Amino acid sequence: MSDGTALSATSRIEALLDANSFVELGAAVTARSTDFNVNAEKTPSDGVVTGHGTIDGNLVFVFAQEPTVFGGAIGEMHAKKILSVYDRALKMGAPVIGVLDSTGVRLQESVDAVESLGAVLAKASEASGVIPQIMAVYGNCGGGLSVLTALADFTYMTDSAKLFFNSPSTLPGNKDVATDSAEFQSQEAGVVDAIGSEAEIAEQIRKLVTILPGSNLEEGCIDECTDDLNRAAEGISASYQDAASVFTELADNRVFTEVKKAYAPEMTCGFVKLNGMTVGTIGNTVLKDGEELEARLSADGLLKAADFVKFCDAFDLPILSLVKTEGYETSIAAERSLARAAASFTAAYASASVPKITLVAKAYTTAYLLMGAASMRADLVYALSDADMGVMDAKAAAKILDTTPSEVMTQVNGITNAARHGYIDRVVNGADTRKYLIAGYEMLYTKKMDEAYRKHATK
């Protein structure tokens, strides 16, 4: 720091980056006197430390709010430093990492502070889909600043941190629900990807940065593969319960990075490497950490997957879809938002121009379409050899058609019938799944799509 004071913001940044790689910029910046803030106090770095460094050799730009300076509150110069971080990151094509610990906007600077926060949010929106944005909430983050965590691609939070749009105490009738807690924000709001200590979060962010491209111009992320490309994938069958276990077995060196694990656990999203190539994965889960889940698509799960697919498409990351669904969630609550959520996911998946491969374990009703059918513009559709597929369960169909379940499986249901009509490209044994996926993505590597011009989709 310019005044020689060691601030916790600096130590938090250094914990994220490679040793001795952090270069601070704007250390001499302090609050300036304005009509709203005539006698401005001298504020070290104006409450935010900014600069650049590396993570495993990859360039990143960082900012960390300093809670000992005006509680990390956002002022005009504070915001300008964050904007400078974004501008440099956009020029260089590198991720932005923010460490948030703030009491909000700086009251002493009045409307200047509010407008400055608006400029930061607008810049984050401009950067969306261009460079990865990662936020870590280490203290307080409330009000308008909380929007930054939702604009980010990935957000992490410590157990003791507070994240809220409206403070729990201001919610009419609320006495017991800690809506600002890490648990609520990860399980209910779906804003937070993972919870942990500062050290654990730093490690997770470091891991994430190494598997993501620096910008949307890098055309994906490919590293050297040290695993056997033809390795047998053990234990993979249509009877799987947790999609994460399947993705782990398929991945290079069996490494799967899951995101938003606690939110809508019936839809598993994350990243794997296949022959060194980062692939985004979505899959249906029926058992998570001992909790039984319905094999049905929910509104929350579809919105979670839609956001994830949009991220993958923006950064040229191929998509793998693992299908095990019997239909849609059936409840009055679901009816309020299910159609809109299904539309959001449909638009995201169908319009994604990256390579898309689907692996079918169970596929009933039109829910299968959403998860990556050939008609939804999946490039390849594989089915496990013991997969089940049809309009509905064979027993239910038999009652309607006045026949036996075995006849339904022979004449109507089943992957054989789907393959005959060209809806399944290949039936694969579970052990061979990894090598066929790798071969598929290699074939699709040069995929190009010519799309009719439009400003953007409306859904």
What confidence score (pLDDT) does residue 449 get? 83
Per residue in 58-78, pLDDT tens?
A: 999 999 999 998 889 999 999
What confidence score (pLDDT) does residue 6 get? 44
What confidence score (pLDDT) does residue 90 get? 98
Sequence-separated contacts (24+) of 37-45 with Cβ below 8 Å: 37/75, 37/108, 37/109, 37/110, 37/112, 40/108, 43/69, 43/70, 43/75, 44/1, 44/2, 44/3, 44/5, 44/7, 44/69, 45/1, 45/2, 45/7, 45/9, 45/69, 45/81
Q: What is the rounded distance in angstroms from the CA atom of residue 267 to the CA atom of residue 245?
A: 13
What confidence score (pLDDT) does residue 42 get? 66
Q: What is the pLDDT along the chain (459 residues), one digit of tens a residue?
A: 334 444 599 999 999 999 999 999 998 887 765 554 445 566 778 899 999 999 999 999 999 999 998 889 999 999 999 999 999 999 999 999 999 999 988 888 889 899 999 999 999 999 999 999 999 999 999 999 999 999 999 999 999 999 999 988 889 988 889 999 999 999 999 999 999 999 999 999 999 999 999 999 998 889 999 999 999 999 999 999 999 999 999 999 999 999 999 999 999 999 999 999 999 999 999 999 999 999 999 999 999 999 999 999 999 999 999 999 999 999 999 999 999 999 999 999 999 999 999 999 999 888 999 999 999 999 999 999 999 887 666 566 556 655 666 665 565 557 888 888 899 999 999 999 999 999 999 999 999 887 777 777 787
What confidence score (pLDDT) does residue 5 get? 44
What confidence score (pLDDT) does residue 28 get? 85
Q: Which helix (H) or strand (E) element contains residue 140?
A: strand 140-142
Q: Which domains does the chain have, with CATH numbers?
A: 8-208 (3.90.226.10), 221-446 (3.90.226.10)
Q: CA distances (Å), 356 to each of 338, 373, 449, in order?
A: 24, 10, 13
What confidence score (pLDDT) does residue 420 get? 84
What confidence score (pLDDT) does residue 402 get? 59
Closest CA to 444 of 367, 358, 361: 358
What confidence score (pLDDT) does residue 411 get? 57
pTM of the model: 0.92
Cβ-based burial of 225 (10 A; exposed 0-12, middle 13-18, buried ≥19): middle
Cβ-based burial of 343 (10 A; exposed 0-12, middle 13-18, buried ≥19): middle
What confidence score (pLDDT) does residue 450 get? 75
What confidence score (pLDDT) does residue 294 get? 93
What confidence score (pLDDT) does residue 4 get? 43
Per residue in 151-165, pLDDT tens?
A: 999 999 999 999 999
- 8 A C-beta contact, residue 266 and residue 296: yes
Cβ-based burial of 91 (10 A; exposed 0-12, middle 13-18, buried ≥19): exposed
Q: What is the rounded distance in angstroms from the CA atom of residue 434 to the CA atom of residue 413?
A: 26
